[in-house]
Every structure is written in structure tokens, then in C-alpha cells.
Amino acid sequence: MKNVMFIAGLMFCVPALAADSHAADVARAEAAKAQKETKKVCVDQMKDGKPVKDAKGVTQQTCKEVKQHKKLEVEKK
């Protein structure tokens, strides 16, 4: 009787463990997708209305990683 109870318990636990593993895989995939949805935006540095240049004459920039948002499709009336 104990063996039957043990096997019945395993039948219910194994799918639950597999579901947790699948949920973790889905979370990792969403995190990777979120990383890909970023965009690097660079803006020229300005001082007194003029661009700031370094010794080589290249304009200095301030860059940031910005998350891109998907545009929602809206029906026009």
C-alpha cells in the first residue's frame, strides 16, 4: 500500500516540477527579449549653444540606453 501511495505522489509531483522549470525558461526568454528592445540614443553635448569638441575635433556625445516601447495600434474613427 505504501508503494502505491509513493507512486501516486510521484505522479503528481513530477509534472509540477516540470511546470516550474518551464516557467523559469519563459522568464529567461522574456528577459532576453527585453534586453533586445533597448536602443542606444546619443545626444551632442552643447555649451553656450555650441557643440563641445575634444582635442581631435570630434563632437562629444552623451549616450544612454533607452527601452523601446511598442506602439499600440489604435483605430481611427
Residue 4 is which amino acid? V
* Cα distance from N-terminal residue to C-terminal residue, the chain: 69
Which residues, in sequence order, are CB contacts of 62 under 8 Å at separation 6+?
42, 43, 45
The lowest-confidence range among 14-23, 54-63, 67-76 is 14-23
Q: What is the pLDDT of residue 32?
A: 67
Q: What is the pLDDT of residue 62?
A: 92
CA distance 68 to 36: 9
What would the pLDDT profile of 19-60 be if each residue is shown by its tens digit? 556 666 777 777 666 666 778 899 999 999 888 898 898 999
Helix or strand or coil: residue 53? strand
